Structure 1
Amino acid sequence: MASEKKKRRSSGRRSPLAAAALIGIGLLATGGLYAGASAAVASTETPTVSTAHADLEEGEKLFAANCATCHGLDLQGTDNGPSLAGVGALAVEFQVSTGRMPMQMNGPQADQKPVQFTEEQILAMSSYVDSVAPGPEFPSERVLDGEGDVSRGAELFRINCAMCHNVAAAGGALTQGKFAPDIQDTSALHIYAAMVTGPQNMPVFSNMNLDDEAKRDIISALLYQQEMQAPGGFTLGSLGPVSEGLFIWIFGIGGLIAVAVWITAKSN
């Protein structure tokens, strides 16, 4: 009987490996929960003074290395570039994040090209410029939400913007080699930034011209137009009835004349 009880006890004991495995699983679970909680807390923390100072230092270094040649170390401007006094963070973010700046060479205007910096670097440069030359601020999320009055926004766009950007926002040629860019794929933030900062040949639309509600309506109309499919098929560049009529005249009538000439030649 004693030997049978001993066998039962020995068979019921847990293996040392099983205990070690349970401890390891517990440690891993505890570590994972701690890491997740730490990341969540870190994401909700506001930047400290030292972090903001580090961002400004990084932005100053990037500005000195990539922008100061044309705009000057003190943002005073040079013969190759204008002063940045009063441009603020919004203008810097717009110019750099669209690849317009830094320019590869002087020309009639800065065109878009691949972006050369990360989002963190762009924000650091924007913060540095804003600390030296404050200007227009970033808008609220409501202005960019695309939920404004689309009909009113389309009317405001036709009145204030279509003479350069085309009624379909396809862009158009200006004088002296300049042009109004295609904005059919432009983000809501950059549409707002262009209206507020007036890049290149574009005028500045202050609240005296278009308040934030009007800007919101224009942005909503352009975002709606970006999502809407062209009901008429091929857009022919969305250049309007003149170009469409010219297309029909050249290719439509021209094609009929070519067919008539071919039939006449075959009959002869």
Structure 2
Amino acid sequence: MALSKFKRRSRGRRSPLAAAVLIGVGLLMTGGIYAGASAAVAATDDTPAAQASVEEGEKLFQANCATCHGMDLQGREGVGPSLHGVGALAVEFQVSTGRMPMQMHGPQADQKPVQFTETQTRSMAEYVQSIAPGPDYPDEEILSGEGDVAHGGELFRINCAMCHNVAAAGGALTEGKFAPDIMDTSALNIYAAMVTGPQNMPVFSNMNLSEQDKQDIIANLIYQQEMTPVGGFTLGSLGPVSEGLFIWIFGIGGLIGIAVWITAKSN
């Protein structure tokens, strides 16, 4: 009698891992449902129906930017500069590239993962534009990439290549600063950089480069971004430094290795 009772209990007893497996499955299902719902909400927020608004931009600015730039956009000494006069384009450039909000103070703000949707970025840009007007979004024609590519290339080499490299691959500056690679930069942010002069970049007003000149430069850069390299490995497009290093290590090194091998073989 006692033996049969023990057998029945043994057959009804669950494995010690069963509870852990059930909990894991439950967590995975809950996480999957939450992720799906979040993606659906995000997609809904960025639909045309979810238009940018100054009111929403003010809330976002106060929650994420006012600590450094002040509630009145006047900035705080030693913390963040004034935003008066920077306009919507400066906000678009800094926020849509992840440079702002800044993680830590340094020689310059670097790109990092973007924290806001396009609609939220546009809302903050419109809010700043309403309080402290400055450069605003351009006509779509300027960003179309349909300018004079050859003329844009000439203007880029004259005005931009000394910092960004002829191939737009970026380059080092002084005191830990650098000109970034712009081969993945959008047409809007290229225009915004020329107009607002972020970081160490000068401002190119219409007195320096006309709107048509800017359109041609953008057309040239879009052409470079879409062009397939015809010369083989680009080696970072850093010019003779990287090419010379490659030849020194692999070319000369290979010849030395072959010479040693031939000598060893003959001995």
1:157 counterpart residue number: 156
Note the 1:83-232 alignment, pairs <5 A: 83-232=82-231
Shift of 1:241: 2.7
Distance in 1, matches of 2:197 and 2:255, equals: 48
Distance in 1, matches of 2:95 and 2:245, equals: 39
Gaps of 5+ in 2: 1-47
Q: Deviations over 1:56-81 (max 9, x none)?
A: 22211111111111111111111211
Aligned residues: 219
* Aligned residues: CA RMSD: 1.7
**Structure 2 counterpart SS, 1:113:** coil
**Structure 2 counterpart SS, 1:259:** helix
Contact persistence 2:129–2:136 (CA under 8 A): no
Note the 1:59-98 alignment, pairs <5 A: 59-78=57-76, 79-98=78-97
Q: Deviations over 1:220-246 (max 9, x none)?
A: 000011111000111011111343133
Shift of 1:106: 0.8
1:237 counterpart residue number: 236
Q: Deviations over 1:181-204 (max 9, x none)?
A: 110111111100000000100000
Q: Mark the structure with the bigger radius of gyration.
A: 1
1:30 counterpart residue number: none
Identity percentage of aligned residues: 79
Q: Deviations over 1:101-123 (max 9, x none)?
A: 00111111111111111112111
Distance in 2, matches of 1:203 and 1:224, equals: 24
Q: Deviations over 1:41-99 (max 9, x none)?
A: xx79xx9xxx88xx222211111111111111111111211111100111101110111
Distance in 1, matches of 2:229 and 2:56, equals: 45
Gaps of 5+ in 1: 1-42
Distance in 1, matches of 2:208 and 2:143, equals: 18
Q: What amino acid sits opposite 1:69 in the alignment?
A: T
**Structure 1 counterpart SS, 2:89:** helix
2:55 counterpart residue number: 57
Distance in 1, matches of 2:143 and 2:119, equals: 21
Q: Deviations over 1:127-163 (max 9, x none)?
A: 1111111000111111111111100000100000001
What's the TM-score once normalised by structure 2's chain length? 0.78
Distance in 2, matches of 1:147 and 1:61, equals: 38
Contact persistence 2:93–2:192 (CA under 8 A): yes
Distance in 1, matches of 2:109 and 2:224, equals: 26
Distance in 2, matches of 1:219 and 1:251, equals: 37
Distance in 1, matches of 2:117 and 2:64, equals: 14
1:14 counterpart residue number: none
